[in-house]
Amino acid sequence: MSYNKVYIHFVWSTKNRFPFLDSKDLRLKVWDHIKENSKSKGIFVDHVSGFSDHCHCLVSLGVNQTIQKVIQLIKGESSFWINKNQLTSEKFEWQDEYFSVSVSESILQNVRTYIKNQEKHHMKKSFQEEYEEFIAKYKFGV
């Protein structure tokens, strides 16, 4: 039997960063659904949260899982579910692009706390500011 423990922090936004997820109640429904649906597909979502225009998800990859397949399943199914249940007034879509970075076990708790506190975090900082920090911190596009 093969074993691995690889944590990935995913971040993705709504299409054109439109604030589709404009209420806390709606966001909690979506995050709960992502967690439950992922579990049914054998994807271990450790933490999920976000704000009106984006989502953060900490995932532990299984032996046969790839970053691309996991994000495709999570984003594709959740947008389908949101639209099927008419949870937004307009057709819901996630942006095609996403961030993904590996997370060392030594900082897992910091990442969990960061994801859990998205509501508070975005009272002080916009997603655009957070996005620019991610680009700089992880040297994306360099």
Tens of pLDDT, residue by residue over 53-64, are 999 999 999 999
**What residue segments make up the domains of the chain, in order of their start?**
6-137
Above 90 in pLDDT, residue 87? yes
Strands 54-61 and 44-51, by their bridges, are antiparallel
Residue 50 DSSP symbol? E
Instruction: State how far the Cα of 50 lies from the Cα of 54, in Å rounded to an integer.
Output: 6
Q: How far, CA to CA in Å, does 12 sit from each of 55, 75, 93, 104?
A: 6, 9, 11, 20
Above 90 in pLDDT, residue 123? no
Q: Give the per-residue pLDDT at 134.
A: 83
Above 80 in pLDDT, residue 114? yes
The CATH code belonging to domain 6-137 is: 3.30.70.1290
Tens of pLDDT, residue by residue over 11-39, are 999 999 999 999 999 999 999 999 999 99
* pTM listed for this prediction: 0.92
